[in-house]
């Protein structure tokens, strides 16, 4: 059983993971937000150590959104770079 202070930290990290992942869909900058969300996810998972997480849905949603948002942001950024490279001449 986690102490109440650790439980509060776990909930805050889970919600933080979710909100960082929402911003991961911003093209280009979203990769930074996705990486931050994934770090928050890892820290929350390590803190939980198999315990029940009251904000577990936020944590799972944050993981999924960060993954897809980071990929989306990276693809859009690569398309932008490709367009800039082909229109130079």
- Say how many domains are in the chain: 1
Q: Could you tell me the residue range of the domain that residue 74 belongs to? A: 4-86
Work out the pLDDT band at 89, boundaries 50, 70, 90: low
Exposed e or buried b per residue across 3-21, where buried means at least 16 C-beta atoms within 10 angstroms of its C-beta: eeeebeebbebbbbbbebb
**How many angstroms separate the CA atoms of 81 and 65, rounded?**
24
Work out the pLDDT band at 5, boundaries 50, 70, 90: very high
**How many angstroms separate the CA atoms of 42 and 81, rounded?**
31
Give pLDDT tens digits for 29-77.
999 999 999 999 999 999 999 899 999 999 999 999 999 999 999 999 9
């Amino acid at each position: 059983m986690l102490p109440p202070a650790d439980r509060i930290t776990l909930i805050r990290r889970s919600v933080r993971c979710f909100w960082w992942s929402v911003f991961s869909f911003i093209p280009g900058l979203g990769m930074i937000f996705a990486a931050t969300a994934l770090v928050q996810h890892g820290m929350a998972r390590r803190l939980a150590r198999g315990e029940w997480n009251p904000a577990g849905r936020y944590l799972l949603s944050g993981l999924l959104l960060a993954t897809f948002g980071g990929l989306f942001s990276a693809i859009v950024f690569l398309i932008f770079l490709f367009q800039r490279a082909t229109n130079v001449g």
